[in-house]
Amino acid sequence: MTTPSYIFLAGASRGVGREIAQCLTSQQYKVKALLRTDATRHELEAMGIAVVLGDAMNFEDVERAMLRDEPIDAVITTIGGLAKDSSRADYIGNKNLIDVAVKAKVKKFILVTSIGSGNSVVALSPQILEALQPVLIDKEKAEQHLIGSGLNYTIIRPGGLQSESATGNGVLTEDPRIAGMIHRADVAQLVCRCLNSDAANNKILSAVDANMLFGQPQFEKFNVD
């Protein structure tokens, strides 16, 4: 009898990561979540998620969490911090997850960053870029580390995030010039669709709500199915 495999999720305690946790469990995926503290443990366990305590900033914690008897099929990470934070997980935490995922031979790694990272720097105004620059630099370093890792990856860069219910209007595009807003629940739905999408393999995609774009740009939508 084979051991069931898991989706390993970092960032499930709040925000987009929590929405992804709900999306995955609603689709009957077996999910293992890495949590830094016990604060949301009971909520996630009530959803049927296996919780492992550890800090993504600590390589040994990530190894202990991921390199267990149960195989990990895919890793999804939404972890990061704010520009004002003295210590952020945007690069080091995600780098640790990527490096252990290589050891674990996972089939797919999905990294959620932000519009403004990498070549999508052209999508944001100088004022926003100045405010977010420290975070965006770290996010781009994480993206580049993933691209160079040899893993099968999808990088998703959401626009400005809102917490309302999903609109169903979330779209993906390879066009780095696109910016706009998107609800966290819609980002989660797009992430879940990319999980088993061959079309999304080794792609960098911006995520926005089709009805909440900045300006009226014409762009080609990415078909994830």
pLDDT of 138 strictly over 80: yes
State how far the Cα of 189 lies from the Cα of 167, in Å rounded to an integer. 10
* More confidently predicted of 113 and 84: 113
Please state the pTM of the whole predicted model.
0.96
For the residues 201-220, what does the mean pLDDT come to?
93
For the residues 26-32, what does the mean pLDDT come to?
95
State how far the Cα of 107 lies from the Cα of 126, in Å rounded to an integer. 38
**Confidence at 83, pLDDT banded by 50, 70, 90:** low
Residues belonging to the active site: 114
Which residues share a beta bridge with 208? 171
Q: What is the dihedral of CA 138, 144, 148, 151, to 10 degrees?
A: 80
Torsion sign, CA atoms 67, 53, 186, 208: negative
For the residues 136-160, what does the mean pLDDT come to?
97
pLDDT tens, position by position, 166-201: 999 999 999 999 999 999 999 999 999 999 999 999
Task: Say which amino acid occupies 139.
Answer: K
Which backbone phi and psi does 214 adopt, to 5 degrees?
A: -85, 120
